[in-house]
Structure 1
Amino acid sequence: MEVSLNHPASNTTSTKNNNSAFFYFESCQPPSPALLLLCIAYTVVLIVGLFGNLSLIIIIFKKQRKAQNFTSILIANLSLSDTLVCVMCIHFTIIYTLMDHWIFGDTMCRLTSYVQSVSISVSIFSLVFTAVERYQLIVNPRGWKPSVTHAYWGITLIWLFSLLLSIPFFLSYHLTDEPFRNLSLPTDLYTHQVACVENWPSKKDRLLFTTSLFLLQYFVPLGFILICYLKIVICLRRRNAKVDKKKENEGRLNENKRINTMLISIVVTFGACWLPRISSMSSLTGIMRC
């Protein structure tokens, strides 16, 4: 049975029990200053994430109701998925890091990992739809133009696909005391404690799922987005090269540049920040690690 842990801590290899896929805790416990900094970082992310994302959603749907467009609605959807992570995942992770064992029950164990995967999927596919909209608007302005209605239909499809894609996370995570069975600690601090771990029938099943997830949730969408924006950049450069430009066209071109710069920054930041998490989810070791 392939088992892996959704846990911030890690350990050295166990030689006492060949059937165990876990490690000892003693040699890999984070020092107090590092743990404090980690908790402070999580807390800052939680506060800024909640305040920033909720503020953006309110601005888009309340103050700019008449100015809503395809892009603004998808950006609001991005903020909603990030807010979901703040509400459902971050504070559980902070407590899990501090306590070193899971206290929230089996349902929350499954749900936190599931919600995090759903959020990643919603974010990346929202960026894909946004890239398509920018491509149509700039490269193919006389073609199909995505509307606000299309945005809501797109969001519905994004959430349905993301919820289905992440189901294996909900099914595979469970509670177990296996990581604590062979601890050589002088106290019974971890007696009867459990960890929230990922449990697969075999390494082959885990490899198949994580590889598919990496392709569908990260590599293919980001590749598609980069191609769209590359074509957009080429198109804008060609338009800039034209000598005969009216002032109003030049203003519109500058506005498109500003929006594209913002969206490209979002994509680059998303790709850079989520790559470590995606890589850890796709890890083939299936064990607890630092």
Structure 2
Amino acid sequence: MDAQDNGNASQDVVFEVYTNNNNNNNNNTSTFPTTVQGDHFILEDSTKLIGVQVVLIFAYSTIILFGVTGNSLVIYVVYKFKNLHTVTNFFIVNLAVADLLVNTLCLPFTLMYTLFGEWKFGWALCFVLPYAQGLAVHVSTITLNVIAMDRYRSIVYHMETKMSRDMCTIVIVLTWVASAVLASPLAIFREYTSFDLPPGQSIQVCTEKWPGSGVDATVYSVAAFLLQYGLPLSIISYTYARIWNKLRRHVSPGGGGRNDRHRRRKKTTKMLVAVVVVFALSWLPFHSFQLAVDFNSSIFSMRDFSLLYTVFHITAMCSTFANPILYGWMNRNYRSAFAAVCKCIWTADGAGTNSVRRPEKNAKDINCLHTHVTNV
């Protein structure tokens, strides 16, 4: 899913380290893996240990691999199978696109920034990449709320009229527009600069630079936490609690069709609740750490500040590949669609060199997905 940014880094979840510059009283943030005391950088933190770096490379690489594979598969099966063309699934695709954006555009650079200890990607990416992740997390959060409210409307108030595809498209477009506006401070209040290190060395860093005092950054961080985490989770928790209570007490008077629909609704709601729970728990350590940093600046001077931040960030980023696993585990339609795609890939690979001599097998492979549509 979801880089929500609290603390002085606000939404700059991926690109974050804190500098306390006594000359300008600004709180700057980037992903530079150091701690700071006054005007002096401390480079020898735990993330510089070879063993730690190997673990970080493995962790980030695993998240990227699973995230790209799983979210791409979700997007593909919804596109390919017509019986998955529902409003809820279109919103799930929107979540997958946002997570895919984080996996491809943000995490590789975060890993390299942490390992190198310096921003090596130039001026333009300093503005683009933090903005991209902030945008993606806003999209994920808003979409989770939209899904919850749509199901609340249809289940709790028995509104059988489903959201039209045109309205679904409008909602998705508005989600991206609103997210782009909310994430804009990450690109506006940013600076690509260099810091001098003794003796006679300098490093390039990508930092936040807020006007006036550092209070501006703290206010924005707390507001972002409430808007991106606290308030949305409150709304989602309330709506799903009402939905679950409604489904638990539901008794269908006769009619096997109504009972089947009730069971499908219950299974889908379980899956969506699991998605929200994973999102909330994966981000909780990171948000807690960020808020602690906001109100206790002495945390900056901890030797393992960068390592703690990175561990909590990795935990948060696990949400970007968890959703496809939940879909495959808890939803029969997705499970069947995933199996159909994997079987077709296996069949196509198995054709090997025989594909030239057996054109009839190629034709069968081309229609493979079509054959499985009715079984999803």
TM-score by length of 1: 0.86
Other structure's SS at 2:209 match: strand
- Partner residue, 1:133: 150
1:227 aligns with 2:229: no
- Partner residue, 1:268: 277
The verdict on how the C-alpha distance between 1:169 and 1:243 changes in structure 2, with shifts beyond 3 A counting, is: closer
Identity across aligned pairs (percent)? 28
Q: Deviations over 1:8-57 (max 9, x none)?
A: 6232524xxxxx3x641124544211111111111111111111111111
The verdict on how the C-alpha distance between 1:45 and 1:140 changes in structure 2, with shifts beyond 3 A counting, is: same
Distance 2:78 2:290 in 1: 33
Q: What stretches of structure 1 of length at least 5 have no aligned partner?
A: 15-19
Distance 2:52 2:45 in 1: 15
Q: 1:151 aligns with which of 168, 171, 178?
A: 168
The verdict on how the C-alpha distance between 1:243 and 1:117 changes in structure 2, with shifts beyond 3 A counting, is: closer
State the 1:142 CA deviation: 3.1
Equivalences for residues 85-234 of structure 1 within 5 A:
85-142=102-159, 145-178=162-195, 181-183=196-198, 191-201=201-211, 202-234=213-245
CA contact (8 A) 1:13 1:24 kept: yes
Aligned residues: 274
Q: Deviations over 1:212-249 (max 9, x none)?
A: 2112111111111111101001101111xx38443322
Equivalences for residues 29-44 of structure 1 within 5 A:
29-44=47-62
Structure 1 range deviating more: 268-277 or 79-88: 268-277
Counterpart residue type for residue 204 of structure 1: V
Other structure's SS at 2:118 match: coil
CA contact (8 A) 1:23 1:287 kept: no
CA contact (8 A) 2:145 2:236 kept: yes
State the 1:149 CA deviation: 1.8
Distance 2:214 2:245 in 1: 44
- Partner residue, 1:238: 249
CA contact (8 A) 1:114 1:167 kept: yes
Other structure's SS at 1:26 match: coil
Q: Deviations over 1:88-110 (max 9, x none)?
A: 11111121122110111121111
State the 1:148 CA deviation: 1.9
The verdict on how the C-alpha distance between 1:272 and 1:23 changes in structure 2, with shifts beyond 3 A counting, is: farther
Structure 1 range deviating more: 103-112 or 73-82: 103-112
Distance 1:171 1:280 in 2: 25
Over aligned residues, Cα RMSD in angstroms? 2.2
CA contact (8 A) 1:69 1:147 kept: no
Q: What stretches of structure 2 of length at least 5 have no aligned partner?
A: 1-24, 307-376
Distance 1:29 1:263 in 2: 36
- Partner residue, 1:69: 86
Distance 2:58 2:128 in 1: 24
